[in-house]
């Protein structure tokens, strides 16, 4: 697995991420075998509805624009129910419907069931450690398989002049039952910013290395727009 270091890129306009959602279809085309690397934009909208102090309904829409940011390669809709056991631990089952076109001329439909277990712990000097483990049960052709994912992330509040935000960096590894091996690594660095208690944004640069998947080495600019409805966490 080749490891490269890339500087994070931030500050792209909102329209740069959302334009592909409005204009880029999943188009089947004839193309030569793809290279091993790709540059992609991932744009997501996350809506959470607080039912009470323990439960949140989740709805997420996602678009990934790949082939060096030239066409939509992945669209997914997700629904889940988050259960907050306490302020440190939550469990969330999620269903995802995914339309994927990793290679021009190829389309794959996937149904995915995910169990997400997330925890957060305070550290000295305003740092926070978050740990997430996921099991993705992926139902797709030509065969079904499971991804086990482990992510470790560090966060800290940062202030530059009058601007306050939450900086973070972390790493996630993937185990694939098809190969009986750890096959993928994602390193991310970025920031989170809440404009109000109900609206926020998260932006990051992610480097993915994957020696088993076609075009698995990715440079990703990732934006998540967050909306919180209903009861807010105390």
The string of pLDDT tens digits covering residues 160-206 is 999 999 999 999 999 999 999 999 999 999 999 999 999 999 999 99
Q: What is the mean pLDDT of residues 77-85?
A: 97
Cis peptide before 225 (omega within 30 of 0): no
User: How far is the CA of 59 from the CAs of 16, 56, 76, 77, 79, in angstroms?
Assistant: 22, 10, 11, 8, 5
Q: What is the pLDDT of residues 10-62, one digit of tens each?
A: 344 444 444 544 444 544 455 555 567 999 999 999 999 999 999 999 999 99
- Rounded CA gap, 190 and 204, in Å? 4
φ/ψ of 174, rounded to 5, equals: -125, 130
Burial of 162 (0-12, 13-18, 19+ CB in 10 A): exposed
Q: Is residue 146 part of a domain?
A: yes
More confident residue, 194 or 142: 194
Q: Terminus-to-terminus CA distance in the chain, angstroms? A: 44
Does residue 140 lie in a domain region?
Answer: yes
Q: Please report whether residue 97 resides in a domain.
A: yes
Q: CA-to-CA distance for 116 and 5, rounded, in angstroms?
A: 29
Query: So what's the pLDDT on residue 102?
Result: 76
Does residue 32 or residue 86 have the better pLDDT?
86
In a domain, 188, yes or no: yes
Which residue segment(s) compose the domain that 158 sits in? Answer: 14-24+34-229
Rounded to an integer, what distance in angstroms lies between the CA atom of residue 75 and that of residue 234? 33
Residue with tokens 């499971």: 146
Query: Number of structural domains, the chain?
Result: 1
> How much is the pLDDT for 233?
79
7 occurs within a structural domain: no
Residue 227 CB partners (closer than 8 Å, separation 6+): 45, 46, 47, 48, 198, 199
**Domain harbouring 94, CATH code:** 2.40.160.40
Residue 158, in any domain of the structure: yes
Using pLDDT thresholds of 50, 70 and 90, give the confidence band for residue 105: confident
Does 3 score more than 80 pLDDT?
no
Nearest to 77 by CA among 37, 45, 124, 38: 45
Higher pLDDT, 8 or 28: 28
Q: Which residues on adjacent β-strands are paired with residue 184?
A: 174, 210
Burial annotation 34-68 (CB, 10 A radius, 16+ → b, else e): eeeebebbbbbbbebebeeeeebebebebbbbbbe
Q: What is the pLDDT of residue 212?
A: 82
Are the beta carbons of 25 and 203 closer than 8 angstroms? no
Q: How confident is the model over 106-136, as pLDDT tens digits?
A: 889 999 999 999 999 999 999 999 999 999 9
Domain-located, residue 29: no
Q: Does the pLDDT value for residue 78 go beyond 60? A: yes
- Predicted confidence at residue 4, as pLDDT, reads 39
């Amino acid at each position: 697995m080749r490891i490269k270091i890339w500087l994070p890129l931030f500050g792209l306009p909102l329209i740069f991420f959302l334009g592909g959602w409005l204009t880029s279809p999943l188009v089947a085309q004839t193309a030569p075998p793809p290279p091993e690397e790709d540059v992609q934009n991932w744009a997501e909208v996350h809506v959470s509805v607080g039912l009470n102090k323990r439960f949140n309904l989740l709805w997420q829409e996602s678009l990934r624009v790949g082939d060096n940011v030239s066409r939509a390669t992945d669209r997914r809709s997700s629904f889940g129910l988050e259960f907050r056991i306490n302020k440190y631990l939550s469990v969330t089952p999620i269903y995802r419907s995914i339309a994927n076109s990793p290679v021009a001329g190829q389309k794959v439909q996937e149904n995915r069931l995910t169990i997400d277990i997330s925890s957060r712990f305070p550290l000295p000097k305003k740092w926070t450690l978050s740990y997430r483990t996921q099991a993705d049960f992926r139902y797709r052709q030509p065969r079904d398989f499971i991804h086990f994912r482990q992510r470790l992330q560090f966060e800290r509040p940062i202030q530059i002049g009058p601007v306050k935000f939450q900086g973070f960096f972390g790493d996630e590894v993937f185990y694939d039952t098809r190969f009986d091996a750890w096959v993928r690594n994602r390193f991310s660095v970025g920031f989170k910013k809440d404009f109000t208690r109900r609206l926020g944004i998260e932006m990051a640069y992610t480097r993915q290395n994957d020696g088993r998947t076609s075009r698995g080495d990715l440079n990703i600019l990732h934006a998540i727009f967050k909306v919180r409805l209903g009861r807010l966490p105390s």
